[in-house]
Amino acid sequence: MLFFYFITDVRKEKEKEIVFLDALWYDFHNDLKKKGSHQSVKNKVVIVTDSNSGITQSEAKELGISVLPMPFYINEELFYEDITLSQEEFYEKLGEDANISTSQPTPADVMELWEKLLLEAEEVVHIPMSSGLSNSCETAMVLAKEYHGRVHVVDNQRISVTQRQSVLDAIALAKAGKTGAEIKEVLEKEKQESSIYITLETLKYLKKGGRITPAAAALGTVLNLKPVLQIQGDKLDAFSKARGKKKAKSIMLQAMKSDLEGRFQEYAKQGRMALQAAYAGNEEEAMEWKKELQEQFPGYEIYMAPLSLSVSCHIGPGALAVAATKIADTE
């Protein structure tokens, strides 16, 4: 019985603590609203994404957005993408067979950024990487509930260059006067309107991550097999395989052509498809890849950028990718 009463007392104390914290939270939000009103920035929407989008801190400043750096542990030491970890340093560590693991921004880091932005804006639209590839989206959605409709977390299942396009769409929609809720609705409605194909240089990292068996990796290496992976929606899946990278690139080109002439045909005719290329630490090869894409798709201006380190961590250096994304309608 004594134990029961002890638990009851603890619960009462916890309830008091929760009520007290709720009161503090209410006061904090009222203070945010007062400061926002004082600065006359009502209805202003600001955009947040993470470094999985490939948007650097310097580019973020040019675009007028905020980018949360993704954390990585390398040999148990914490690094932040594009802050304390460059692309070159990452691939150097990868080449040294360092123990690298991905993580997600801490709730404290996410909330600190949101609260800073809400001092100057009415709403935040937060665009993290796909919920199917990381828990960071789900975490952000839980945290957003505490902001009483002022933070809108978008789960439109994008990564790397397609995630970047979502950010550009959000910026355009905000400039067009859309609210945070309206921007979220548009982006999530079109979450299936993108496609990514990736081929790899090595099977080593798929084996290391447990995606293929050591025997399959050994056989694939001997036969010079290059897998072609696909990101459609929220998953990274096998699409095809080829003997050699040249054949793998040919498969990707044909797959993208089929997408643009098939499921994306109407959007392509309207000039509402963005074509992108990406690579993993192999810029010289990537420039040749971009030329090939330009020859195959002469009507497109191709944007190219490094793959996000979160993806590269699992597939290794030397990867090449092609992506297509529908550009959101701002009207």
- Which CATH number do you get for residue 129? 3.40.50.10440
- Residue numbers of the domain that contains 180: 45-70+105-189
Residue where a domain terminates, one of 189, 214, 229: 189
| 228 assigned to some structural domain | yes
| 91 assigned to some structural domain | no
Beta-carbon contacts of residue 219 (< 8 Å; ≥ 6 apart): 225
Same domain, 53 and 177: yes
| 40 assigned to some structural domain | no
Same domain, 254 and 273: yes
Question: What is the pLDDT, as a whole number, of residue 229?
Answer: 92
- Report whether pLDDT(315) > 80: yes
Same domain, 281 and 220: yes
Same domain, 243 and 138: no
Residue where a domain terminates, one of 189, 208, 223: 189
More reliable by pLDDT, 82 or 217: 82
Same domain, 267 and 320: yes
DSSP 217-237: HHHHHHTTEEEEEEEETTEEE
Interval 297-302 mean pLDDT: 94
Question: What is the pLDDT, as a whole number, of residue 31?
Answer: 53
- Residue 223: CATH number of its domain: 3.30.1180.10
- Report whether pLDDT(259) > 50: yes
For residue 59, count CB atoms less than 10 angstroms from its CB and return exposed for 0-12, middle for 13-18, buried for 19 or more.
Answer: middle
**What is the pTM assigned to this prediction?**
0.84
Same domain, 296 and 228: yes
Element containing residue 183 per DSSP (H, E): helix 180-189
Number of domains in the chain: 2
Same domain, 198 and 300: yes
Same domain, 180 and 204: no
| 260 assigned to some structural domain | yes
- Report whether pLDDT(18) > 50: no
Same domain, 49 and 184: yes
Of the candidates 92, 51, 50, 88, the one whose C-alpha atom is nearest the C-alpha of residue 75 is: 92
Same domain, 228 and 318: yes
- CA-based end-to-end distance of the chain: 66
Same domain, 130 and 52: yes
More reliable by pLDDT, 300 or 25: 300
| 157 assigned to some structural domain | yes
| 50 assigned to some structural domain | yes
Same domain, 153 and 244: no
The answer to whether 160 and 236 are in contact (CB under 8 A) is no
Residue where a domain terminates, one of 189, 221, 241: 189
Interval 5-13 mean pLDDT: 32
Give pLDDT tens digits for 195-233.
999 999 998 988 887 777 888 888 888 888 999 999 887
| 120 assigned to some structural domain | yes
Measure the CA dihedral 81/86/87/92, to 10°: -120
- Report whether pLDDT(135) > 70: yes
State the pairing for strand pair 194-199/225-232.
Answer: antiparallel
| 251 assigned to some structural domain | yes
